[in-house]
Amino acid sequence: MAPPTGPGRFTRFVRRASSEGKLVVQPRMGFGTVEQMRAGLDAVRDVDAATVGTITVDSYTRVNDHASALLALEKGADLNGFPLVAHGAAVTREVLAGIAGDDFPVQVRHGSALPRELFEGLVAAGADATEGGPVSYCLPYSRVPLAQAVDAWAECCEMLAGISEPVHLESFGGCMLGQLCPPSLLISLSILEGLFFREHGLRDISVSYAQQTNQQQDIEAIHALRALAKEWLGDTDWHAVLYTYMGVYPRSRKGAYGLLEASARLAARSGTERLIVKTAVEASRIPSITENVDALERAARAAEREAVAEPAGIPDSGIYEEAQAIITHTLTLGSDVGKALVRAFALGHLDIPFCLHQDNANRCRARIDDRGRLTWADPAGVPIPRARDLARNRQRLTARGLLDMLSYNERRYDHPSRTSHPR
Amino acid sequence: MTSVSSDSHMWNLVFLQLLLEENGGQVVNLGACTPDELVMSECLRIRPDALVISTVNGHGHIDGLRLIRKIRGHSGLASMKVVIGGKLGIHGSRHAGSRAELVANGFDAVFEADADLDRFLGCLGLGTPAPKHVASTEIRST
């Protein structure tokens, strides 16, 4: 089989939109039945914006419980996504037929630590892209030992690398647990997963970052992500994807759209090529097709309105320096990226705050400071400069204190008059 | 405390553990994506005063029913106090019928996303908390 030459359909689309000054917007959307899924993709394709389609799989498929997915389909029970393996590749190919194409590539989104069956299915169905990673889909989303997830993801990357039409792979490393993970750690994980993908033969990839609690800090973080991607992944066809806030979401329509539009402006201002949106009903339930369409149009319009002026000075609070330190240190811990990742987590040198997975040290802590910036409360074993000074920020965390931090953006956007922090 | 087999959400579990501990509870947190068999074997091993199931991915109704039937079908666990809460379906908290079905199948109580925390703690025989409502946390959905 001839090795892939140049980027695949997904990246070509993103590049084209980017050269036309358009932000690619994408939903997180999946429905149980073929009819709903197809209707969803149709509606997203028809949105007045540069959109790519999404098939989000359901959570049974994510944990390889395909029997439960099949049972739910037979009983007509509600699934929270599209059970791609239970439906099978042929059915999925039909869902994509006549919809997916050069002007509308489709990504399969999942959350699986052991995604071999899913990857076989999405490749056979002709999907353009998928996402995840050995760390980002293991520690927050499974009980699978990290070493096992690393092996499974290595195998899956090699499967994708062997296909003549490249399948794009995006790292979910920039989203760990959605909130309260310091920006430099998010960036490091995304770059490290990118390096892992590259090590296993992939060249058509993206790195991610999720909007946090302070726009200036997020601008700095995305700038650092891009600089590090250029340095470490410069020989790949990479782009960056931003996620609209993945934590506790505002409940009011106004608040929800306020946060969504802020993420679209952040994407436009930071030169991010693609944005994964959230909807107005995110806080309470899985959104409908119309609600997704509405969110995509809102985000696209907000990005267009944001004048792409000469970027003002990029703030420097040390995010780049911290991330570079984490990445370079991690890579010394193993003979390849996968081994280095496993060893780094075993030592607590990589550590996701609050993550309960048995292979995560769960010693480091983050907090939201009085300027609304997401900072370290205690880096514990994570090797960043000035770690010892930062450890003094640690305070005993109460349920109330945690809830206050988790709901920081919800409060800020639902009740702007009650909070003094800048938007 | 546990999630259900298909649910990977964690913030709800982190928060509830802190809350229960602050109110005098002693918590063994089994974490996310817990297979039914693990929940049952841990309950048989630990013999807790109560099992708290927290889930927000929308499969709580399906997974919760399956789990409670297994729990109630086991002679060693038939009388253990078991409560479930969170976001149990994909349509928001609207279906009183599904709550009734969960109770009919053996749950001692069902708490949807905006349930009163005092009632929840009271049900477990614990004290009054500071925060007023259970957080409707969502950490991700790919």
Convert the pLDDT of each residue in A166-222 to its tens digit: 999 999 999 999 999 999 999 999 999 999 999 999 999 999 999 999 999 999 999
Nearest to A402 among B8, B15, B58 (CB): B15
Residue A348 structure tokens: 């607590």
Minimum Cα–Cα distance from A402: chain B residue: B15
Computed over its alpha carbons, how large is the radius of gyration of chain B? Answer: 14
Q: Does A354 touch chain B (CB under 8 A)?
A: yes
pLDDT score recorded for residue B140: 36
Kindly provide the ipTM of the predicted complex, given to two decimals: 0.88
What pLDDT score was predicted for residue A313?
Answer: 80
CB atoms within 10 A of CB B37: 10
CB contact under 8 A, B10 and A356: yes
Residue A181 DSSP code: S
CA distances from A354 to A123, A181, A362, B12 (A): 34, 9, 6, 11
Within A143-252, residue ranges assigned H as helices are 146-161, 183-199, 215-233
d(CA A152, CA A116): 7
| Partner A contacted by B28 (CB < 8 A) | no
pLDDT tens per residue, range A296-320: 999 999 999 996 655 668 899 999 9
Closest by Cβ to A247, choosing from B33, B35, B139? B139
- The closest alpha carbon to A212, from A131, A173, A135, A266, belongs to A266
Alpha-carbon dihedral sign for residues A199, A201, A202, A203: positive
Alpha carbon distance A117, A137 (integer Å): 15
The CA distance from A301 to A23, in Å, is: 10
Distance CA A204, CA A125 (A): 19
B76 vs A106, A346, B37, B40, B42, CA distance in Å? 49, 37, 14, 10, 12
Q: What is the residue whose two structure tokens read 């960056």?
A: A240
Residue with the larger pLDDT of the pair A65 and B130: A65
pTM above the 0.80 mark? yes
In chain A, the percentage of residues whose pLDDT exceeds 90 is 89
Distance between A409 CA and the closest CA of chain B, angstroms: 12
pLDDT at A118: 98
Confidence at residue B57, expressed as pLDDT on a 0 to 100 scale: 84
> Is B137 within 8 Å of A248 (Cβ atoms)?
yes
Report how many Cβ contacts below 8 Å link chain A to chain B.
131
**DSSP code per residue over A314-361:** PP-SSHHHHHHHHHHHHHTTSSSHHHHHHHHHHHTSS--TT---TTS-
